[in-house]
Amino acid sequence: VAKKARTGDYEHTKEAFLEVFAKLRDECVSDPIVGTPPAFSVEWVTEMLNYNVPGGKLNRGMAVYDSLAAIKEELAEEDIFKANVLGWCIEWLQAFFLVADDIMDGSITRRGQPCWYKQSKVGLLAVNDGILLEAQIYRTIKKHLKGHPSYLEILELFHDVTFQTAHGQLLDVTTAPIGTVDLTKYTLDNYMMIVTYKTAYYSFYMPVACGMLLAGISDPAAYKVAEDILVEMGQYFQIQDDYLDAFGDPDTIGKVGTDIEDNKCSWLICTCLKEASDAQKETIKANYGKKDKECVVAIKQIYQEINVEERFKEYEAESYKKLVAAIDAQTVLPKAVFTSLLSKIYKRKK
């Protein structure tokens, strides 16, 4: 349901959010540096941004406005616009990560179309496009938020979260290098460390922290409370993702899960290895990370034997209960800051 800002008739819909993208994209393209003759880059940058930035679910970007609206009763048009600018900066950051991620993983498709680096004219030029995407974030923030009381903190947040996410990606890629299956690294402790840094900070903490900074919240204790709750929510989200990869309906999710073939350090495989008998471990070792239908069937058989579906449902119920209790117990932020995010992901099917 679209939320309305209480000061006017702004409806926070995907369409309204996408209008801000068009404005920011045009600003990036009309940047004097991009447009300086010979302006070969204008067309390239336009296509690169259209291809990589707005194609996802946009949950992260749209959550900045939701967080600000939950904290502040009255929102001026300027507040709404700034929230959407920072929301798009998070989507730009996501695009930067995904362009790089796809090259590292050798992925073929992303969001239902060929990966950017797979375009015949692009190839490894995509590395430079990733760098451009990141640099555009800081030019956009400078243009629209320089002079805001939280300008420095906003910049620091983007730098910190970029570092955390890159570190998470490094942990992920070194835990499960392509072509090597080393199951000793597949522990739940390692897994939690990877998802905390790779997903939780930029997907959950960052949008809310942006909303808090725009609302003028400066108490470090409030950010600590938000971080603790939102990192845990991010972990729950990623574990759901892993579950849906194996047990979700491909038509609903929009893709066929490939975590088993891709040798992913997922919650399912870490949970299985913790509980598996020696014989089951041997089966996992022989079949995990192989692009062969028979091998995938063998792993899914182990998932059934260890009842990993039931274990996930227990984890989900426990995690939800814990999150609700933490949201109720804190008094520094309106509950809606957290419940609006939690309600979107609890028991999701895609």
- Sign of the CA dihedral running 8, 13, 15, 18: positive
Active site residue 96: yes
Active site residue 57: yes
**Which is catalytic among the residues 172, 259, 264, 311?**
172
Active site residue 110: yes
Question: What DSSP line would sit under 76-128, residue for residue?
Answer: -HHHHHHHHHHHHHHHHHHHHHHHHHHHHHT-SEETTEE-GGGSTTTTTHHHH
Active site residue 160: no
**Which is catalytic among the residues 66, 129, 242, 259?**
242
The region that residue 111 occupies, defined by phi over 0 for left and psi between -120 and 50 for alpha, beta otherwise, is left
Are 64 and 86 in contact, with CB atoms under 8 Å apart? yes
Active site residue 172: yes
**Which is catalytic among the residues 66, 102, 129, 241?**
241
**Which is catalytic among the residues 6, 23, 57, 322?**
57
**What is the distance between the alpha carbons of residues 24 and 315, in angstroms, rounded to a whole number?**
41
Angle made by CA atoms 206, 112, 171, in degrees to the nearest 5:
45
**Which is catalytic among the residues 25, 82, 110, 311?**
110
**Which is catalytic among the residues 21, 72, 97, 101?**
101
**Which is catalytic among the residues 3, 31, 81, 105?**
105
**Which is catalytic among the residues 25, 60, 198, 264?**
198
- What are the structure tokens assigned to 339, written together? 């419940």
Active site residue 4: no
**What is the distance between the alpha carbons of residues 320 and 336, in angstroms, rounded to a whole number?**
15
Active site residue 219: no
Q: Which long-range contacts (CB under 8 A, 24 or more apart) does 319-322 make?
A: 319/232, 319/235, 319/236, 319/239, 320/236, 320/346, 322/232
**What is the distance between the alpha carbons of residues 205 and 217, in angstroms, rounded to a whole number?**
15
The region that residue 216 occupies, defined by phi over 0 for left and psi between -120 and 50 for alpha, beta otherwise, is left
Q: Which of 13, 350, 60, 93 is nearest to 230 (CA)?
A: 60
**Which is catalytic among the residues 158, 204, 237, 338?**
237
HEC-encoded secondary structure of 314-337:
HHHHHHHHHHHHHHHHCCCCCCHH
Tell me how far CA of residue 189 lies from CA of 128, 175, 183, 266, in angstroms.
34, 12, 13, 12
Catalytic residues, by residue number, are: 57, 96, 101, 105, 110, 172, 198, 237, 241-242
